[in-house]
Amino acid sequence: MNLIRASSFKVNQSKIRLQTRARRQQVTGLTVNRIVNVRRKYINQIRAMLHVWEKYGLIAAENEFMQKYDRKCRFPAKRHISFPHIVKGKIEFIGMVRGKDCPIYLRFYSQLCKLEPKFVKQQIVPLKSVDLARPRIVTEGKADWKHLEASLAIFKRQGQFMDLDLDFHRSEDSAGAASIKRMCIEYSRVPQRLIFR
């Protein structure tokens, strides 16, 4: 409080709330208990929007959104915003709050790209790139590497990750954490070859 007063601000006493750890602690619409997160209701809304779009089409999804959820008062000249961009904005907000590696963000963005291919992000390839020796994938389960290899083959048939060259450790035995650690230590001692092009 002293820091706030020292900065010439005044605390609005009517807006102060005390919330314990057992309750949802919110600041500007975000939950801040342990990590910053969006509300479950927000995620469910995006899931519903994508579902209706996929099942009934873009026009039906846009109409349902405008009737149920669109409560914003917009400037008359910008009253109509395209539904795909609204969905993309909501998904990008999840990515901003939870991180772009969040599984929910990745799943929603992938679903959006299937419905609206123009949102597929183009990968920028630098003029000068570095190739390491083929990365080796080591898995714990005896069939895990087979699933990963099959998945990569499917992606390549679809024209994705064409330049990704992986070396799968093909083992028919299950490997424990200790043996994988030993293997990784041994691999780390092998010098990597750099190729500039």
- Residue 155: CB partners within 8 Å, gap ≥ 6? 161
Domain locations in the chain as residue ranges: 18-119, 130-196
| pLDDT tier, 84 (very low <50, low <70, confident <90, very high otherwise) | very high
pLDDT tens digits for range 88-134: 999 999 988 888 888 889 899 989 988 988 887 644 344 333 344 56
Q: How far apart are CA 132 and CA 194, in angstroms?
A: 5
pTM for this predicted structure: 0.52
pLDDT tens digits for range 128-179: 333 445 677 778 777 888 888 888 888 888 888 888 888 777 776 666 666 7
Q: How far apart are CA 150 and CA 156, in angstroms?
A: 10
Residue 81 has pLDDT above 90, yes or no: no
Tokens 């183009």 belong to residue: 122
pLDDT tens digits for range 3-43: 888 888 888 888 777 777 767 766 666 776 677 778 888 89
Q: Give the chain's mean pLDDT.
A: 77
Q: How far apart are CA 25 and CA 18, in angstroms?
A: 9
DSSP-derived pairing of the beta strands 26-27 and 30-31: antiparallel
Give the per-residue pLDDT at 46. Answer: 93
Residue 86's SS3 state is helix
| pLDDT tier, 75 (very low <50, low <70, confident <90, very high otherwise) | low
Amino acid at 186: E
Structure-token pair, residue 56:
């009934």
Structure-token pair, residue 113:
């790209």
What are the respective helix, strand and coil percentages of the chain, to the nearest 5? 50, 5, 45
Residue 64 has pLDDT above 60, yes or no: yes
Residue 50 has pLDDT above 50, yes or no: yes
Quote the DSSP letter at residue 37.
B
Please state the φ and ψ torsions of residue 136, each to the nearest 5 degrees: -100, 130
